[in-house]
Amino acid sequence: MSRHHPKNETLAEFAAGTLDEGRSLVVAAHMAMCGACRGVVAAFEAVGGQMLCEIEPVAMSDGAAARALAALDDESPRAAQAKPAVRPVWQSEQQTLLGYDLGPWRWVAPGLHYRAVKTPDVAGTRVFMLKAVPGLKIPQHNHTGTELTCVLQGAFIHEGGRYGPGDCDDADQDDSHNPVIDEGQVCVCLVAMQGDIRMTGVIGRMIQPFIRL
Protein backbone atom coordinates (compact mmCIF):
# COMPACT_ATOMS: atom_id res chain seq x y z
CA MET A 1 0.00 0.00 0.00
CA SER A 2 1.44 3.29 -1.00
CA ARG A 3 2.34 5.94 1.55
CA HIS A 4 2.92 8.93 -0.70
CA HIS A 5 -0.07 10.27 -2.61
CA PRO A 6 -0.86 12.98 -5.14
CA LYS A 7 -1.99 16.27 -3.62
CA ASN A 8 -5.69 16.72 -2.92
CA GLU A 9 -5.80 19.35 -5.65
CA THR A 10 -4.37 16.93 -8.19
CA LEU A 11 -6.92 14.24 -7.25
CA ALA A 12 -9.74 16.80 -7.39
CA GLU A 13 -8.70 17.90 -10.89
CA PHE A 14 -8.47 14.26 -11.94
CA ALA A 15 -11.99 13.56 -10.63
CA ALA A 16 -13.34 16.73 -12.21
CA GLY A 17 -11.77 15.83 -15.55
CA THR A 18 -9.73 19.04 -15.74
CA LEU A 19 -6.28 17.53 -15.19
CA ASP A 20 -4.13 17.35 -18.31
CA GLU A 21 -3.75 14.01 -20.04
CA GLY A 22 -0.15 13.33 -19.06
CA ARG A 23 -0.67 13.91 -15.35
CA SER A 24 -3.97 11.99 -15.48
CA LEU A 25 -2.01 9.00 -16.72
CA VAL A 26 0.33 9.17 -13.73
CA VAL A 27 -2.62 9.56 -11.33
CA ALA A 28 -4.35 6.57 -12.98
CA ALA A 29 -1.19 4.49 -12.52
CA HIS A 30 -1.07 5.48 -8.85
CA MET A 31 -4.77 4.78 -8.31
CA ALA A 32 -4.42 1.30 -9.75
CA MET A 33 -2.15 0.63 -6.78
CA CYS A 34 -3.81 2.81 -4.12
CA GLY A 35 -7.22 2.04 -2.65
CA ALA A 36 -7.12 5.16 -0.48
CA CYS A 37 -6.88 7.47 -3.48
CA ARG A 38 -9.61 5.53 -5.27
CA GLY A 39 -11.76 6.43 -2.28
CA VAL A 40 -10.77 10.09 -2.39
CA VAL A 41 -11.44 10.32 -6.13
CA ALA A 42 -14.83 8.63 -5.66
CA ALA A 43 -15.64 11.31 -3.08
CA PHE A 44 -14.59 14.11 -5.43
CA GLU A 45 -16.74 12.51 -8.12
CA ALA A 46 -19.60 12.63 -5.63
CA VAL A 47 -18.86 16.34 -5.23
CA GLY A 48 -19.21 16.56 -9.01
CA GLY A 49 -22.51 14.67 -8.80
CA GLN A 50 -23.71 17.06 -6.14
CA MET A 51 -22.74 20.04 -8.30
CA LEU A 52 -24.58 18.48 -11.24
CA CYS A 53 -27.68 18.17 -9.02
CA GLU A 54 -27.57 21.78 -7.98
CA ILE A 55 -26.59 23.44 -11.21
CA GLU A 56 -29.02 25.84 -12.84
CA PRO A 57 -30.31 23.69 -15.73
CA VAL A 58 -30.19 24.97 -19.30
CA ALA A 59 -33.19 23.83 -21.33
CA MET A 60 -32.52 21.40 -24.15
CA SER A 61 -33.82 22.36 -27.58
CA ASP A 62 -37.32 21.38 -28.65
CA GLY A 63 -37.68 17.73 -29.46
CA ALA A 64 -34.38 16.73 -27.85
CA ALA A 65 -36.00 14.10 -25.64
CA ALA A 66 -37.94 12.68 -28.61
CA ARG A 67 -34.74 12.42 -30.65
CA ALA A 68 -33.00 10.61 -27.78
CA LEU A 69 -35.90 8.18 -27.43
CA ALA A 70 -35.86 7.54 -31.17
CA ALA A 71 -32.12 6.85 -31.01
CA LEU A 72 -32.71 4.16 -28.38
CA ASP A 73 -34.01 1.83 -31.07
CA ASP A 74 -30.46 1.38 -32.29
CA GLU A 75 -29.09 0.82 -28.83
CA SER A 76 -29.45 -1.79 -26.19
CA PRO A 77 -28.12 -1.79 -22.68
CA ARG A 78 -24.93 -3.79 -22.37
CA ALA A 79 -24.59 -6.45 -19.79
CA ALA A 80 -22.41 -5.60 -16.85
CA GLN A 81 -18.88 -6.80 -17.32
CA ALA A 82 -17.20 -8.69 -14.57
CA LYS A 83 -14.88 -6.30 -12.77
CA PRO A 84 -11.46 -7.88 -12.52
CA ALA A 85 -9.36 -7.29 -9.48
CA VAL A 86 -6.75 -4.58 -9.67
CA ARG A 87 -3.73 -5.80 -11.52
CA PRO A 88 -0.35 -4.22 -11.95
CA VAL A 89 -0.46 -1.44 -14.53
CA TRP A 90 3.00 -2.21 -15.73
CA GLN A 91 5.26 -5.18 -16.29
CA SER A 92 8.71 -4.93 -17.79
CA GLU A 93 7.75 -6.68 -21.03
CA GLN A 94 4.81 -4.40 -21.72
CA GLN A 95 4.80 -2.16 -24.76
CA THR A 96 1.85 -0.10 -23.66
CA LEU A 97 0.87 1.61 -20.46
CA LEU A 98 -2.82 2.16 -19.82
CA GLY A 99 -3.39 2.21 -23.56
CA TYR A 100 -0.44 4.41 -24.53
CA ASP A 101 2.41 3.17 -26.68
CA LEU A 102 5.86 3.20 -25.19
CA GLY A 103 9.00 4.15 -27.07
CA PRO A 104 12.16 2.02 -26.85
CA TRP A 105 14.42 2.23 -23.82
CA ARG A 106 17.26 4.59 -24.59
CA TRP A 107 20.54 4.80 -22.80
CA VAL A 108 21.01 8.14 -21.12
CA ALA A 109 23.90 7.69 -18.75
CA PRO A 110 25.53 4.80 -16.91
CA GLY A 111 22.74 3.06 -15.01
CA LEU A 112 20.02 5.30 -16.38
CA HIS A 113 17.56 4.64 -19.21
CA TYR A 114 14.71 6.68 -20.55
CA ARG A 115 11.63 5.77 -22.58
CA ALA A 116 8.96 8.06 -23.98
CA VAL A 117 5.29 7.46 -23.25
CA LYS A 118 3.48 8.51 -26.39
CA THR A 119 0.96 10.99 -25.13
CA PRO A 120 0.18 14.06 -27.19
CA ASP A 121 2.13 17.05 -25.95
CA VAL A 122 -0.90 19.30 -25.78
CA ALA A 123 -0.73 20.89 -22.38
CA GLY A 124 3.03 21.20 -22.36
CA THR A 125 3.25 18.01 -20.32
CA ARG A 126 5.84 15.42 -21.27
CA VAL A 127 5.44 11.87 -20.08
CA PHE A 128 8.27 9.39 -19.86
CA MET A 129 9.59 6.47 -17.88
CA LEU A 130 12.97 6.38 -16.18
CA LYS A 131 14.80 3.18 -15.25
CA ALA A 132 17.68 3.48 -12.84
CA VAL A 133 19.96 1.02 -11.09
CA PRO A 134 20.23 0.81 -7.29
CA GLY A 135 22.60 3.33 -5.77
CA LEU A 136 22.33 5.78 -8.67
CA LYS A 137 22.02 9.42 -7.78
CA ILE A 138 19.57 11.18 -10.07
CA PRO A 139 21.02 14.57 -11.00
CA GLN A 140 19.82 17.44 -8.93
CA HIS A 141 17.36 19.60 -10.76
CA ASN A 142 14.91 22.41 -10.30
CA HIS A 143 11.78 22.90 -12.35
CA THR A 144 9.69 25.86 -13.35
CA GLY A 145 6.55 23.70 -13.53
CA THR A 146 5.28 20.58 -11.82
CA GLU A 147 6.67 17.08 -11.88
CA LEU A 148 4.39 14.19 -11.01
CA THR A 149 6.07 10.83 -10.53
CA CYS A 150 4.69 7.36 -9.78
CA VAL A 151 7.04 4.54 -8.86
CA LEU A 152 6.20 1.37 -10.80
CA GLN A 153 8.98 -0.82 -9.47
CA GLY A 154 11.88 -0.53 -7.05
CA ALA A 155 12.27 2.58 -4.92
CA PHE A 156 14.03 5.90 -4.57
CA ILE A 157 14.77 7.99 -1.53
CA HIS A 158 14.93 11.73 -1.18
CA GLU A 159 14.30 14.41 1.44
CA GLY A 160 10.57 13.54 1.37
CA GLY A 161 11.11 9.91 2.33
CA ARG A 162 11.26 6.56 0.58
CA TYR A 163 9.11 6.08 -2.50
CA GLY A 164 8.27 2.47 -3.36
CA PRO A 165 5.90 0.86 -5.87
CA GLY A 166 2.67 2.85 -6.19
CA ASP A 167 4.04 5.86 -4.34
CA CYS A 168 3.51 9.22 -5.94
CA ASP A 169 5.73 12.29 -5.73
CA ASP A 170 3.68 15.39 -6.57
CA ALA A 171 6.32 18.11 -6.75
CA ASP A 172 6.06 21.73 -7.78
CA GLN A 173 8.57 24.41 -8.55
CA ASP A 174 9.38 24.96 -4.90
CA ASP A 175 10.72 21.45 -4.51
CA SER A 176 14.30 20.68 -5.28
CA HIS A 177 15.16 17.07 -4.74
CA ASN A 178 18.21 14.92 -4.88
CA PRO A 179 16.89 11.39 -5.25
CA VAL A 180 19.00 8.28 -4.79
CA ILE A 181 17.84 4.88 -6.04
CA ASP A 182 17.34 2.48 -3.13
CA GLU A 183 19.23 -0.78 -2.87
CA GLY A 184 17.58 -3.90 -4.23
CA GLN A 185 15.57 -3.74 -7.43
CA VAL A 186 16.03 -1.60 -10.51
CA CYS A 187 13.74 1.39 -10.11
CA VAL A 188 11.20 2.26 -12.81
CA CYS A 189 9.24 5.50 -12.57
CA LEU A 190 6.52 7.11 -14.64
CA VAL A 191 6.93 10.87 -14.83
CA ALA A 192 4.73 13.67 -16.16
CA MET A 193 6.61 16.91 -16.33
CA GLN A 194 5.42 20.38 -17.07
CA GLY A 195 7.42 23.49 -17.66
CA ASP A 196 11.14 23.64 -17.97
CA ILE A 197 13.73 21.91 -15.96
CA ARG A 198 17.20 23.04 -15.16
CA MET A 199 19.64 20.22 -14.83
CA THR A 200 22.93 20.63 -13.10
CA GLY A 201 26.02 18.47 -13.25
CA VAL A 202 27.39 16.12 -15.89
CA ILE A 203 24.51 13.63 -15.93
CA GLY A 204 22.04 16.45 -16.02
CA ARG A 205 23.58 17.88 -19.16
CA MET A 206 23.57 14.40 -20.71
CA ILE A 207 19.91 13.71 -19.98
CA GLN A 208 18.79 17.13 -21.11
CA PRO A 209 18.54 16.49 -24.90
CA PHE A 210 16.62 13.26 -24.40
CA ILE A 211 13.76 14.81 -22.58
CA ARG A 212 13.48 17.70 -24.98
CA LEU A 213 14.08 20.31 -22.38
Partner 1 sequence: MGTLHNRPTQTDLKAKSPAELARLIEAVAARQDREAFASLFDHFAPRIKAFLMRTNLPAAGAEELAQEALLTVWRKAPQFDRDRAGASSWIFTIARNLRIDSARREQRGKVLDLEASEDFEPPVPPDAEVMATERDTRVRAALEHLTVEQLRVVRLSFFEGKAHGDIATELELPLGTVKSRIRLAMNRLRDLLGDLT
Which residues make up the interface to partner 1 (CB under 8 A)? 8-9, 12-13, 15-18, 21, 28, 31-32, 35-36, 38-61, 64-65, 67-69, 71-72, 75-81, 83-87, 89, 94, 96-99, 120, 122
If we measure between CA atoms, which residue out of 115, 97, 82 comes closest to residue 28? 97
The smaller minimum CB distance to partner 1, of residues 192 and 199, is found at 192
Q: Which of 143, 118, 139 is nearest to 129 (CA)?
A: 118
Question: Among residues 72 and 212, whose Cβ is nearest to partner 1?
Answer: 72
**Minimum Å distance from CB 71 to partner 1?**
6
Which of 121, 96, 135, 126 shows the shortest CA–CA distance to 207? 126
Min separation Cβ 122 and partner 1, Å: 5
Between 87 and 212, CB nearer to partner 1: 87
What is the sign of the dihedral through the CA atoms of 33, 20, 10 and 179? Answer: positive
- Rounded to a whole number of angstroms, the minimum distance from the CB of residue 97 to partner 1 is 7
Determine the distance from the C-alpha atom of residue 44 to the mean position of all C-alpha atoms in its chain, rounded to a whole number. Answer: 18
Q: How far apart are CA 10 and CA 24, in angstroms?
A: 9
